[in-house]
Amino acid sequence: MTRIKKTFEDLKQSGKTALVTFTMLGDPDLKNSLKILKSLPESGADIIEIGMPFTDPVADGLTIQLAGGRALNAGANMHHTIDMVRKFRKTNDHTPIILMGYANPIFVYGYEKFAQDASDAGVDGLIIVDLPPEEDADLREYTKKYNIDIIRLITPTTDEKRLAKILDGASGFLYYVSITGVTGAAKADKNALKPHIDMIKSHTTLPIAIGFGIKTPDDALKMSSLGDGIVVGSVIVEKVKDTGNGNIEPVLSLVKSLSNVLK
């Protein structure tokens, strides 16, 4: 059983919604980024999503764009991403790690080399936001070989015909983008989303994690009733940018406050 599947099944048995946290690799610098990463599980993160810094993050709002810029300025690259997961796995072999980013850096790295190195380091899944199902066959050939889940994005505009295409080859869980916009944008309308998410659930047994626009414990609690997990990114990244002095407690306190309402 994969770490992702086991985590969702264990949480379901205990009646808890998964908290998926996002931070950018190398933000605000490599040392503090690793320090935060290692501390997230004890603060309540059930699954960790790590952003792979890229120069053209078209799906991200300003907060995460700036985080990627800070990371690149600190020297972060794809090899650092793999190495940091490897360091994390020295003390944690149970928390799932998802890498989120864009196709270009992986293409340059080499699809098979990347999949092999990521798997060896302990990566569990990938979210490649600019690689639609029609274009990811070459990458999936190797992620399947090395047991890495391809986690697909679904939006409020996804109809049943498109859903069938998205589900073909998807694994791990589905990432439901709750708004039509970039990361860190306005909050979603829970009541408007429910019928659509119910439709998706009627077509798949994959867990659904809901992201974009979740900023507060109240937001987390409201959205947790719709899916199996919630994804929180921009508000955490806002706290991370001030941790260059080594004080990561504000980040961890925020994660704890989000986790506590999901119990």
User: Which residues are catalytically annotated?
Assistant: 49, 60
Phi, psi at 121, each rounded to 5°? -75, -25
- Alpha helices (runs of H) in the chain, residue ranges in sequence order: 3-14, 30-43, 62-73, 78-89, 103-109, 111-121, 137-145, 160-167, 190-201, 217-224, 234-240, 249-261
**103/166 Cα distance (integer angstroms):** 17
Torsion of CA 21, 84, 243, 77, to 10 degrees: -100
Which single residue is written with the structure tokens 């916009």?
181
Q: Which two tokens stand for residue 121?
A: 């380091």
